[in-house]
A and B are shown apart, each in its own frame.
Chain A
């Protein structure tokens, strides 16, 4: 069975510092997509970043980047220059080529001013 594990229920970081959220997964598929979503207190789900498994290059979106280690089945999210607006729940999500989707349990990110 496919799984997505976010081992950090909660993380905190000082404003302007860098933080890394971990996500590990297990799938037997060779073709899949990985995503990080953010859910701020408004509860609106917002896409942060997307990674296609066939791409070796790590995805980057402004202050957000991923460390995608396919062999290790790891997909961590790095947030640089953390801002107060980054405070949210962060969810890791896997979609495979059969359209099977698995969500992680989430990591609550706290930003300390």
Chain B
């Protein structure tokens, strides 16, 4: 089955620790995205990548880092510099050719930092 996987579904960390959220897609999409969603709020873009080994900051990149070493994978690291990391994180991918451009989303990771 084609799709996007995020793991784990729930993640708990102590304050001061870095944590990496996984995102893998087998849809052969060029673009991948990371979003943060707080309770009752919309999606805020953290980082996105349109090609391997290249990525751009979104609206709230401070305290986060990403890599794109493979087309299929776009992990997000939440660093200790992120002041309020507890949130729901969504990964998405989309084609950049073919006229569709819709984003396909993973199931999300709920991160709790105490």
Contacts and interface: CB of A to CB of B under 8 A. Distances in A.
Interface of A: 33, 35, 37, 42-47, 50, 52, 91, 93, 95, 99, 101, 103-106
Contact of A99 (B37, B50, B90, B100): B50
A104 B42 contact: yes
Contacts of B103: 35, 37, 45, 47, 93
B82 to A, nearest CB: 21
Contacts of B96: 99
B42 A33 contact: no
A33 B90 contact: no
A20 to B, nearest CB: 20
A103 B43 contact: yes
Nearest to A47: B102
Interface in B9-64: 31, 37, 41-43, 45, 50
A44 B42 contact: no
Contact of A101 (B41, B45, B90, B104): B45
Interface of B: 31, 37, 41-43, 45, 50, 88, 90, 92, 96, 99-105, 107-108
B16 to A, nearest CB: 27
Given A43-B88, A106-B42, A50 B105 contact: no
Contacts of B43: 91, 103
Given A43-B108, A45-B90, A99-B96, A105 B41 contact: yes
Contacts of B37: 43
Nearest to A45: B105
Nearest to A44: B107
Contacts of B100: 50
Which of A42, A43, A95, A104 is packed against the most chain B CB atoms within 10 Å? A43
A-B complex: 6 closest residue pairs judged by Cβ atoms: A45-B105, A105-B42, A106-B42, A103-B43, A47-B102, A33-B101
A33 B99 CA distance: 10
Contacts of B45: 101, 103
10 contacts: A43-B108, A44-B107, A44-B108, A46-B105, A91-B42, A93-B103, A99-B31, A103-B43, A105-B42, A106-B41
